[in-house]
Structure 1
Amino acid sequence: MGIIDQINKDFESRVRLGIMSVLVVNNWVDFLELKEHLGVTDGNLASHITALENKNHIEVKKEFIGKKPRTSYKVTKTGKEAFIQHINALGKLLN
């Protein structure tokens, strides 16, 4: 298996790379925080979050704070492992 085979297609998008980077170093991050960090539109962020959730890379928590809905995200254990493997493969490729 070559280095290129260790690069995960799930993280090829710059937005998904950003989402995972933020979530790997934080516990729960809400939608607005992610949007501000990444500087993307609601729709763009939502579509990438859905893709990562469908691959079980992130966990979604929906709750109400008072009467306002709040959606937060956390990287899963398998998501973190896959992302670290992806980053390590990119590092090997650069060296």
Structure 2
Amino acid sequence: MTDLIKSRLNKNFKKQMHYLTLVFNDFFILALIFLFGALMFWYAQNIKKWPNNLWFYKPLLALIWTATLGIGHFATLFDRADEHFLFNQDN
């Protein structure tokens, strides 16, 4: 059982590393860092000017969280069941 889990973990890790090396290269990460820093600087400068407790803050926050969680999906290590575990073990 532990060998099966290890093999599925290794297969998933290889798949994720292949994807990450294609998408998250050095220049992309540097651009993301600068964009995130600029966004945080703008936010820090402008939050002082915003009014407190407007009625639409809570629904807007709920909408943002729902959209953020809806875009992604949970990664699982589930594959089709192996035949070994489907056989009856009646003795």
- TM-score relative to the length of structure 2: 0.28
Using structure 1 for the length normalisation, give the TM-score.
0.27
Q: Which has the higher strand share?
A: 1
Q: Which structure shows the bigger proportion of residues in helix conformation? A: 2
